[in-house]
Amino acid sequence: MRCLKSFGERIMARDPDRQTAEIHIRIALMNRFNALGTAVIVRVA
């Protein structure tokens, strides 16, 4: 939840459908940041 709040303290949309869309976008961004920060491990020999 702390990471979700780092994108903004609260949800800006008032409509429930737009709130869910906003949350989905935030989660997609967090997943993308995690993917970019994940080390690629290559086995040698």
Question: CA dihedral defined by 9, 13, 17, 20, rounded to 10 degrees?
Answer: -20
Can you list the alpha helix ranges (DSSP code H) found in 1-45?
2-6, 16-37
What's residue 45's pLDDT?
A: 76
pTM for the model = 0.62
Report d(CA 20, CA 37) in Å as an integer. 26
Contact 12, 22 (CB under 8 A): yes
What is the pLDDT, as a whole number, of residue 4?
55
What's the pLDDT at 39?
A: 79
Query: Per-residue pLDDT tens for 1-45?
Result: 555 556 666 777 889 898 899 889 888 988 888 888 887 888 887
Torsion over CA: 17, 19, 21, 27 (sign) = negative
